[in-house]
Structure 1
Amino acid sequence: MTTMNDDELLAALGVEVTPVKVVKRTPREERIIAGFEDIIRFYETHGHAPRKGYDLDIFERLYSVRLEQIRKLPEAHTLLADIDSHGLLTASNDIPADINAMDADALLAELGIADAEASQNDMTVLRHVRSSAEKRAAEEIAHREKCEDFELFEDLFERVERELKSGSRQTRPFGNNVSIEVGHWFVLSGQMAYVAEEGEDFDSPQGKKDARLRVIFSNGTQSNMLRLSLVRALYKDETSRRITSTDMGPLFGDAAEEDDIKSGTIYVLRSQSSHPFVTEHRELIHKIGVTGGKVETRIANAAKDATYLLADVEIVATYTLHNINRTKLENIFHRVFAAAQLDLTIEDRFGNPVKPHEWFLVPLYVIDEAVERIRDGSIAEVAYSAETARLEPVA
């Protein structure tokens, strides 16, 4: 029996073979399709088209702008008709005037779809592939989760908003030599961002000091991002800002005036003690003090001093003072945090029982709020509640 190939078999059965037509897309068309597919995936995940809004996720806002821009492209409706099963191209949305004023190439450039003509034929360019740095930056911004204890931070965010409106705080561009520490405020991707916690320092692959941060955002989300990642995100966002601290004159000014008297520094320490209770609650146990000299000098012999729990300590926050009575300020902290004072007795080097003072079971962000209230004069109105872990109005 003669063996027939597939084509001969199909011909014998009377089946007409039609060559499959291969559609060749230009790089521009491929990138439009890829951009629209992202929007389709968003719609299928969330059940609605991407929207614009101050409190929405940055990628939803980007997809919203992308959709508006694609709708304006003359060839988009024909090119995308077969995959637009949700009618996203025909939905009626208001399109901003600046979008209407842009031609197709300008829209594509804004969208990141268009390639320069010179690079379209460059075989070394990987289409639709972002660099690892771009991926990492996007993931760092996008990977946020719901902040389960956001109610503890709401008062802080509201206070900072009021201070921005009143002018006691201001926004400045994020630039060189701007530090990122616990208690600092920024604007990133249209959201206020508060650095609430910081982990242990370590050396990054680039040889720089880095640490894991807990960053709280004004839309009720949080991110456990690296400090260097936050720096990259702030640099990458052209609209990012740092929010200055309040300036109440000689008490806590960012810089001392000529007639100010430098009185010292509020310092917040965290113990490295191996005591079981301290080990279990290390992130909550803080020593709050005031010194007229250098904090580093004050804590130089901490491991030999029962005041510092006979262990080395880490400086986690400092605030410079001008023209202030240090003793009275320490008394203010003792009153405000009296309910959370650490009740711990240890033995000194000679075996004598010692009960250290100035140690409190208080989250660092609450201490930061207390300093803010000292700045604006409202500290007398509140005291720390161990039950709610926040500053509550004094009855």
Structure 2
Amino acid sequence: MVGKTFTDEDDALLAELGVEAEKKQVLARTPREERIIAGFEEIQRFAEEHGRAPQHGEDRDIFERLYAVRLDRIRALEECRNLVEAMDHQSLLGATSKPSCEDENDLDDDALLAELGVEQAAAPITELKHVRSSVEKKAAEEIARRNRCEDFDLFKPIFERVQEELDAGVRSTRPFELKAEIEEGRLFIVGGQKAYVAEMGELTLTDQGRTDARLRVIFDNGTESNMLMRSLQRALNKDEAGRRITESDAGPLFTDNPVDGDESSGTIYVLRSRSDLPIVDENRDLIHKIGVTNLDVKRRIAGARLQPTFLMADVDIVATYDLFNINRVKLENLLHRIFGPARLDITITDRFGNPVEPREWFMVPLFVIDEAVERIKDKTIQDYVYDPATAALLKL
């Protein structure tokens, strides 16, 4: 009966028989030792589930990273190794490593989380809430840490042009997907603001073998941030509304084969107004209406004096350009985007006394319109914008 553990009932029976039961000595554990053993058992369960020891790395789950730090500590401290060595049927202890924390007497989860740069909201280790890694916090801080952009005047036209192209359908937005999308000259929407990657430094490798680079990112509110590419990536991934703004592209504007319907061809028309409004009278040879129609232009301008879009006055046809295999609506939007900086700011009262702001009149000389049409034909028009100061098309 040596080595057998007796219950209280067995002890009573043995006492009646005059037999003294051998008591099994139970080793008392300190709370710290219990925590170490329980922590090692969690590591063992992880190893059983994944077939390997927990590993470090920014891309690892927070619990795996915590287990990896904990295992390093147990390996490094002789007291801890001796405590769990008999349990180590998976050979997890392996070689020793340097302790990851100076205080070797504290192995609680709060200390380990703090070492990982994680804030724990007063919850058990298996119920972590509102937890962010140090990398995630750093990324958030880089996004939030912005300075005033001293040369924002250089970038403001870019944001204005991009918004016009979004409105015109020349550009679109789509969900952000890959870090490879982050390149110099590209635009994103993060935190409800447009972000322009103005500069991108040399690509480097992180300790985990991942590419990274320092960026200069300009925001449409006149601020900038000198952040890392991976910080922008994390901010975009975390933001449910994070988007990439696509490049301006003629795309479906041009087609290689004729298609049925109105959008297969169109006529660009340029008109001058006979209005006696002072601003028109003073700039009659410069102010033009630019539009696209699939109708006969003469039919289009019939009854011009009754329509506010024609400034409630008759008009003269200055030039027409016939184009084929082209999306008529997109073409008109593109032209209005290009000449947007020179749009005539005017309000007309219609026949019913209602104020109307015509949007197709521009202060642009005819020779520039001719050049724009040529660039439409050679499919380079999307790369240009009109500069009123020099009365010329400038390449973006």
Which TM-score bucket, shorter chain as reference?
Answer: 0.3 to 0.5
Larger Rg: 2
TM-score, structure 1 normalization: 0.35
